[in-house]
Structure 1
Amino acid sequence: MDYQNKPQDYYSHVRSEMLAFLPDGSKTILDVGCADGSFAFQVKKISGAEVWGIEYMEEEAKKAAEKLDRVFAGPCEGHIDNLPENYFDVIFFNDVLEHLQDPYAVLKAIKSKLSDTGVIISSIPNIRYHRVLVPLLFRKQFEYQAEGVMDKTHLRFFTGSSIRKMYEDQGYEIVEHKGI
């Protein structure tokens, strides 16, 4: 995948809108696809929690390691077994699952890493977004881009209902599902 040629601020974007979903009292947090650690560092500052990250890109993982408590570099699939069982109060997947070959298997494998009250918070682009559908319907083509819903590095595309189904099929209870 061509993750090297992303816009300059792609790996340092802080998804501040995702902070609203962070449960009070979260003490252990994992950010899968943490990039340079900017978002996870904000979570750490706000919550005072122990924050870990997993980042595919080696250079970005090095930057994240300067900000977070522990960071693994490489594909997340290769690090799930190294994570402690029943440990994380929150696992974030901010715009990550659509980049994975088998997000279903990742969600299934990582479930045992959540504490008894642990939650997954994710952001997943919806292919039914009007700016995607209009070109598809009227020009009859996918118009891939450097980032966004039609990011050329996306391996999977989801709708709202397929996102729900993916989580439910892996045994998760959906507490909240909304567009942001």
Structure 2
Amino acid sequence: MDYENKPTGYYDNNREEMLSFLPKNYKTVLDVGCADGSFAKSIKDRSGAEVWGVEYMPDEAEKASSKIDKVLSGAIEVCMEKIPNNYFDVIYFNDVLEHLVDPYVVLDKMKYKLSDNGIVISSIPNMRYHRALKELVIKKDWKYAEHGTLDKTHLRFFTKKSIYRMFEEAGYHVTTHKGLNPSKSLKPWLYNIPFLFTALDIRYLQFVTIAQAK
């Protein structure tokens, strides 16, 4: 996978919009795919919580290690055994699950890393986002890019329905599942006219999901 040549800012995105989903009381947080640790540090600065990270890219993992309590360098599938069971109040997957060979297995195993009332919070790109859908349906193309919905390092593609189903089948109860980063364009609304506005999921670049183990 070509993670070396990502555009500037790819590994230092603070994802401020994802901070709003943190629960009121949490003491331990794991950020899977923490990049350079900017987002994880924001959590630590806000609450003083114990914050861990997992990062695939060694250089980014090294940067993150100076910002948060502990960073595991490597693929999440390999690092899993080093993550303590029944420990984390919050586990974040910010645009990570779509990069994995088998996100279903990873989610299943991560249930055991959660504390009794722990939650998983994820954001996942929406394959039905209107711009991606236009490429497929109108232009009859599937052109990979350096970032975005059709990022060339994405191994899995999801819709609102398939994200929900993945969590449920992995043994979670979904408590929040909604669109994130809506398009400012009028096009999704215009495209929806013949569908009587029943396909407004195409407005959203991503979907955020919050789930607890059953």
Under TM normalisation by the shorter chain, which class is it? over 0.9
Residue of structure 2 in register with 1:98 after alignment: 98
TM-score (norm 2): 0.83
| Cα distance between partner residues in 2 of 1:148 and 1:110 | 26
| Cα distance between partner residues in 1 of 2:148 and 2:139 | 19
Give the AA of the match of 1:81: E
| Cα distance between partner residues in 1 of 2:165 and 2:93 | 16
Residue of structure 2 in register with 1:122 after alignment: 122
Quick check: 1:36–1:63 contact (8 Å CA) kept in 2? yes
Quick check: 1:127–1:133 contact (8 Å CA) kept in 2? yes
* Post-superposition offset of 1:8: 1.3
Deviation per residue, 1:33-80 (Å, 9 max, x gap): 000000000011112100000000000000000001000001000111
Residue of structure 2 in register with 1:150 after alignment: 150
SS at match of 2:6: coil
TM-score (norm 1): 0.99
* Post-superposition offset of 1:83: 1.0
| Cα distance between partner residues in 2 of 1:135 and 1:156 | 17
Give the AA of the match of 1:173: H
Find out whether 1:174 has 2:181 as its counterpart: no
| Cα distance between partner residues in 2 of 1:61 and 1:96 | 15
Deviation per residue, 1:1-28 (Å, 9 max, x gap): 0000001110001100000000111100
Residue of structure 2 in register with 1:35 after alignment: 35
SS at match of 2:109: helix
Alignment gaps of 5+ in structure 2 = 181-214
- The count of corresponding residues between Structure 1 and Structure 2 is 180
Residue of structure 2 in register with 1:56 after alignment: 56
Quick check: 1:27–1:49 contact (8 Å CA) kept in 2? yes
| Cα distance between partner residues in 1 of 2:169 and 2:90 | 20
Deviation per residue, 1:117-139 (Å, 9 max, x gap): 00000000010000100111111
Choose 1 or 2 for highest CA Rg: 2
The structure with the largest strand share of the pair is 2
Note the 1:2-13 alignment, pairs <5 A. Answer: 2-13=2-13
| Cα distance between partner residues in 1 of 2:120 and 2:153 | 23
Residue of structure 1 in register with 2:135 after alignment: 135
| Cα distance between partner residues in 1 of 2:30 and 2:170 | 19
Give the AA of the match of 2:125: P
Alignment gaps of 5+ in structure 1 = none
* Post-superposition offset of 1:94: 0.0
Moved over 4 A (4+): none
Give the AA of the match of 2:122: S
